[in-house]
Structure 1
Amino acid sequence: MTPANQTSHTTERIIRDLDQRQAYGLTEDFTFKRPYGFQLGNEAQAEVNTWRRLYELLCLHLERHDPERFARLPDDPIFTTRRGNRSFARDPINLRSAMALPSGVYAEVNLSANHLRDQIKTLLDTFSIERQTLRIYLRQDRDAEGQ
């Protein structure tokens, strides 16, 4: 099996595995919920343990998808709050908790699950990606197993 075929096979297997679970969109309240994986278009990622990791993987996907647009995110006023807090920067000192990305852009990750959800909505809009193409899968609730 060639590396390309192996990657395609792995992605198909992950999508098949994720499709067995309930998919959630970006309209959900993710308070007290943990991610398991996500699917964006034809790409899928499983075994995502935290919202920060999901956000990181999504940023990496967008960075690969359109590196020039991603590099301009620190300059886009939509990613600066009314208080002047930035979501993206070229210098980590400008963020509370910076996550480095390969392009030299840093992303703010000191955010709640619902704030990260809102950031994802804005990112998808910025990259002209339909919001409904992102499906998020949550971990099974441990309390529900015993009932």
Structure 2
Amino acid sequence: MLEDRGDYVVINDLIEVLRNELPEKAIEIGEVLELLLDSLIITRIDIGIKLQKANDSKNFTLLEQLATVSRELAVYESKIQDFRNLFEVDFIQEKTVPDAEKSLPDYEQYRVDNNIEHTLYENFSHKRPFAFEFEGRKVMVDTWIDMLIKTAEILFKKDRAKIESFANDEDMNGRKMRYFSLHDKSGMRKPVQLAGEELYIETNLSANSIRNIIVKMLQKYGIKITEFKIYLRADYTELHK
């Protein structure tokens, strides 16, 4: 059990309170930790490439330094994964909102410049997408779910077998829920069937969860994260302060 010895605060208990009382924040923290974990893994993979080059050039000093860094990163990956798992929330109860409060905010007031490029390393909570650009194509979208599905469709056309393999890939699914499933959508909360195919994708996800899944899909396809650009339509952050 992880705990803060100095303040005698048991981390498990603290997180349990967050999970029960502020589930949205628990999910947000978990998403940030997941993105950090992915970044560490990518870094360690890049170190592996440099290790090979250092070995080929017989640069043994650099070889030893890189090997040490790689080992340390692996230790932190394990700790962060354990910590991230503590923040996983099974679901967020939908809040009942009176009809009078369901009206959307003044669109013009929160409109942002949809020509500005954003990367997959940003926080997209309370933001609405306008489009994404990938492999020379700019695709218009209305929602984050729309972005997830259209990205999956593009990747499906590139390599059908690879995206279908996500259904049995632990890295592409949550600890308690599946994000990809072949033929069987049972156990998924809000599955969407991919373009008439037998692949189902979970869409009951936050903006940042969708961002993380897109990052992982690109990694599996060997595509640089920086090649995927996002354009925003509106930013409602001020409404949630």
TM category (shorter chain) comes to 0.7 to 0.9
Q: 1:141 to 1:88 in 2, by over 3 A?
A: closer
1:21 corresponds to which residue?
115
CA-CA distance at 1:140 after TM superposition: 4.3
2:156 corresponds to which residue?
63
Task: State the TM-score, normalized to the length of structure 1.
Answer: 0.78
Q: 1:119 to 1:141 in 2, by over 3 A?
A: closer
Gaps of 5+ in 2: 1-113, 237-241
Q: Show the 5 A alignment for 1:46-61.
A: 46=140, 48-61=141-154
1:119 corresponds to which residue?
213
Q: C-alpha distance in 1, partners of 2:188/2:234?
A: 33
2:203 corresponds to which residue?
109
Q: In structure 1, what residue type is equivalent to 2:174? A: T
Q: In structure 1, what residue type is equivalent to 2:179? A: S
Structure 1: 4+ residue segments shifted above 4 A: none
The structure showing larger relative contact order (alpha-carbon pairs under 8 Å, at least 6 residues apart) is 1
* Alignment check: 8 A CA contact 2:129 2:143 kept: yes
Q: CA RMSD in A?
A: 2.1
Q: State the identity as a percent.
A: 29
1:82 corresponds to which residue?
175
Which residue among 126, 131, 137 is the counterpart of 1:37? 131
Gaps of 5+ in 1: 1-19, 143-147
Q: C-alpha distance in 2, partners of 1:37/1:99?
A: 20
* Alignment check: 8 A CA contact 2:127 2:234 kept: no
2:190 corresponds to which residue?
97
Task: State the TM-score, normalized to the length of structure 2.
Answer: 0.48
Q: Deviations over 1:40-93 (max 9, x none)?
A: 1212112x110000111001001001111112110111122223x111012111
Hey, which of these two has a bigger chunk of helix by percent?
A: 2
Q: In structure 2, what residue type is equivalent to 1:77? A: E
CA-CA distance at 1:95 after TM superposition: 1.1
Aligned residues: 124
